[in-house]
Amino acid sequence: MKKLVVYLFIGVLLSNCDVKVTQQNDIDDIKKALNQSAENWSRGDIEGFMDVYWKSEKLQFIGKKGITYGWNATLNNYKKKYATPDQMGTLIFKVLSTDFLAKNLYSLTGEYYLKRNSGDLNGIFTLIFKKIEGKWVIVSDHTQ
C-alpha cells in the first residue's frame, strides 16, 4: 500500500512538471510571435505586424475609439493612423505578465513603446492569445 501511495505521489509530481513545461513553452512561443510582430512593425510592414492577429471577422480590438471587429477593419485602422514610416517608428513591447486561462488560451499584459521622430507614444495592453490550427494568434486586443 505504501508503494502505491509513493507511486501515485510521484506520478502527480511528474504530471504537474509536464504541465508547467508545456505552459512555459506556450508562453515562450507567444512572446516570440509578439516580438516578431514588433520587428515587422519597426520595418514598416503593417501586414507583417498583423500576422499575429486572428484572420477572422471575430477578431476584437478595443481602443480609445471603441471596439473594432475583424482583421481587415483592424488592419485598415492601423493603415489610416500610421500611414508613413515616420508615423510608425520603432515598436518595443515589454511583457508584464502572462496568465494561463485554459488549454490553448492565455492572456498577456504589457506595455508598448513607440519611438518616433514625430513624438513618442506609449501605453498598456492586454491581449488574449489562442492557439488556432497550430498557431498562436491574438483574438482580442485591448490597448490604451
In the chain, pLDDT over 90 holds for what percent of residues?
Answer: 85
CB 44 within 8 A of CB 85: yes
CB 125 within 8 A of CB 142: yes
CATH of domain 2-143: 3.10.450.50
pLDDT in tens, 72-91: 999 999 999 999 999 999 99
pLDDT in tens, 119-137: 999 999 999 999 999 999 9
pLDDT of residue 34: 98
The Cα–Cα gap between 8 and 13 comes to 9
pLDDT of residue 18: 58
pLDDT in tens, 53-71: 999 999 999 999 999 999 9
- Cα dihedral 87→89→94→95 (10° resolution): 60
Instruction: Dig out the grid coordinates for 61 from the structure.
Output: 480590438
Q: Which one has a higher pLDDT value, 16 or 78?
A: 78
Q: Kindly give, in sequence order, each residue whose CB lies less than 8 Å from that of residue 64, ignoring residues fewer than 6 positions away.
A: 144
CB 129 within 8 A of CB 136: yes
pLDDT of residue 21: 81
Tell me the pTM.
0.85
